[in-house]
Amino acid sequence: MRAHTLIPVIFIPFILFLGCIRVKETVLTKEKMQFIANQFENALAVTNDPVRIPKSIDKNGKLKTTGIYGWTSGFFAGGLWYMYEINGDEKWKDEAIKWTEVLGPVKYVTDDHDVGFMINCSYGNGLRLTGNKQYEKVMIQAAKSLSTRYNPVVKSIKSWNSKKAWDGETIWNFPVIIDNMMNLELLFEATRLSGDSSFYHIAFQHALTTMKNHYRDDFSCYHVVDYDPLTGVVLDKATNQGFVDQSSWARGQAWGLYGFTMCYRYTKNKKFLDFAENIADYILNHPHLPEDMIPYWDYNAIDPNLSPEWNYDASKFTEIPRDASAAAITCSALLELEKYSGKKREIYLNAADKILESLFSPEYMPGSKHNKFFILNHSVGSIPHGVEVDVPLVYADYYFLEALARKSHT
């Protein structure tokens, strides 16, 4: 569930935005809001089969899709739920239901930690906005499935199954990635819905372990920490999608900020709030954060003293890629964190406003003919893998819409 509360869905389209978001009035025009709706309508027109779920576009602007078991499968349905919340048009609700309910079989997935993303972003938002009791059952079963990946010795949920590190020799047998903080929301929700505290316990312990082992003294984080599943001893700290092992992969920093803020929402444990604020301060005060607050894909990607172990060719880029998805996640997280922070509230709120202003700019939301299906341009999936570099991504749009919805309640 999200931090903002359910509000009656009776708005005249676009009025909610224009009256409530504290950024320049010229940024939030009716035309921009219509553009967002058009992008969704274009995607729906091309893929009317919910098992082909929008994910990105190829180099020719053609829609790329994923199946229901892809880790991004819940974001499109979640975006539709936010469209319904934002303007109250029943057509978005109808589409959201269709694209949500096709994901039902995912609730039994036990070989992937991202069941949290897949189910919570779709069914979780659907439950929040409709109160559908059948959605509760799906959420609880999905939490049971996710819980099977928890190791009480490690005190963490296993992310990937066994995987080779960049050196081609190291095998990660119990890798835990910072992204996994996002999946804890499903577990916290399952306890709220079912009364079964085991889900809460797993989420709480995972968060504590992540605090202890993923983070450096400056509150930047490693992407991957690998454990001995028999003893819980840390075997490796590395990256998989960042610049180097010691760098700060931008989306990873955003996942952590969002995750620990969410943990405070459910636990009211001040250590999580303090930790989230420290992460936010690291991000907002980073010397490599551009003026428009849309980060480079890795905060250290412009550091001349770092050399990646993977085959990095800077000449491929006319400029170092930004990551709008990291910015959108950070923005949404800040718009929740500001609700809990005292003296820093205005700092976080102003930062979120600046990010929104930048994301609404022609640089990131140009309405170009090349991108007919998504809201934001210039996101990065994984530069080390050469996958989804400087393209629109469905999860960038999802967290952007979530940020707009959250902003409407500030």
CA 1 → CA 117, 159, 288, distances in Å? 12, 22, 33
Q: Write the CB contacts of 336 (distance below 8 Å, at least 6 apart in sequence).
A: 3, 258, 261, 262, 265, 406
Query: With contact defined as beta carbons under 8 Å apart, do 117 and 75 qualify?
Result: yes
Q: 3-state DSSP call for residue 389?
A: strand
**Distance of alpha carbon 185 from alpha carbon 168, whole angstroms:** 33
CA-CA distance, 116 to 158, in Å (whole number)?
A: 13
**How many Cβ atoms from other residues are within 10 Å of residue 153's Cβ?**
13
CA pair distance 289, 298, nearest whole angstrom:
10
Number of Cβ within 10 Å of residue 353's Cβ equals: 21
Phi then psi for residue 141, to 5 deg, are -65, -40
Taking each helix axis from N to C end, the angle separating 133-147 and 197-213, rounded to the nearest 10 degrees, works out to 50
Clarify whether 114 is annotated catalytic: yes
Q: Give the residue among 96, 157, 88, 92 at the shortest CA–CA distance from 121.
A: 96
Which one from 49, 111, 112, 179 is the annotated catalytic residue? 179
**135 with 101: CB under 8 angstroms?**
no
Residue in the structure block whose two tokens are 């979530």 = 402
Cβ(277)–Cβ(219) under 8 Å? no
Would you call 249 helix, strand, or coil by DSSP?
A: strand
Q: For residues 193 and 91, what is the distance between their CA atoms, to the nearest angstrom?
A: 28
Strands (E), 313-408: 379-382, 387-391
Paired tokens of 287: 């010397």
Q: Show the tokens assigned to 246.
A: 């010691």
Closest CA to 310 of 249, 232, 234: 249
Residue spans of beta strands (DSSP E) within 195-304: 224-227, 234-238
Given the residues 49, 89, 94, 114, select the one marked as catalytic. 114
Active site residues: 114, 179
